[in-house]
Amino acid sequence: MRPEDITREEVRVVCESIFHNSSNSLTLLRAIEATCDSLVWIRNFADGGSSFIQPHVGRIRQCDRVQELDVDGMAAATIEQTEEAVCKLHDGLMKRLEHVGRDGALDHTARDLLTSCYRDAIASVVDLHGNLADLRWAILEHDADLSPRTGKTFTDVNALLAELRG
C-alpha cells in the first residue's frame, strides 16, 4: 500500500474505531474495578459480622443456664430474618457470578479477576449465614434447657406433636 492510497475517510474511520474501543475498554475497566471494590466491601462486611457473632455463640453455649435469653422469641425471629436476607444476597451473587462466565465482553484476565472476587465474597456470605444459624440455635438450645420438664416420654411422633400443639 502506498501513502497516496490512504484516504482521509479511511484514517477517520480507523481513528474513530481506536477511540471508540479505547473508551469502551476504559469504561469496562472502571466497571470491573467498581464491581471488585463492592465485592470486597461485601466480603469485609460479612467477615466482620462473623467475627462479631462467633465469640457470642461460644459464650452462650458455655454459660450457666440461669435465665432465658429470648423470652419473647424476638431475637430468634430477627436472626432468622437476617439469615433470609443473607440467603438472598448469596443467591444474587451466585447469579451474577454465572453471568461473569457468560459475558463475551470480558477477556480471560478480567473474567478470572471477577470470578475470584465473587467467590471470595460468596464464601464470606456463606460463613456469615452459618454463623447466624449457629447463634440462633445456641439461643434456642440455651432457652430450651431452661424450659420446664413434663416428665413425659414419647414413643410415638404423633403423640409428641399433639402434646406440643397443646
The model's confidence at residue 7, banded by pLDDT at 50, 70 and 90, is confident
Most distant pair of Cα atoms in the chain: their distance: 103
Of 105 and 49, which is predicted with more confidence? 49
Residue 134 included in any domain: yes
Average pLDDT, the chain: 89
Query: Quick check: 164 pLDDT over 90?
Result: no
Rounded to 10°, the helix 74-102/108-145 angle is 160
In a domain, 154, yes or no: no
Q: Which domain holds residue 104?
A: 7-147
- Per-residue pLDDT tens digits for 27-45: 888 999 999 999 999 999 9
Q: Is the pLDDT of residue 151 over 90?
A: no
Q: What average pLDDT does range 142-153 have in this prediction?
A: 88
The number of domains in the chain is 1
pLDDT of 3 > 80? The answer is no
For residue range 33-78, list pLDDT tens digits in order. 999 999 999 999 999 999 999 999 999 999 999 999 999 999 999 9
Quote the pTM value: 0.79
Residue 164 lies in a domain: no
Is residue 163 in a domain?
no
CB 100 within 8 Å of CB 111: yes
Give the whole-angstrom CA distance, residue 137 versus residue 74: 13
> Measured between alpha carbons, how far is 60 from 50 in angstroms, rounded to an integer?
15
Task: Please indicate, yes or no, if residue 156 is contained in any of the structural domains.
Answer: no
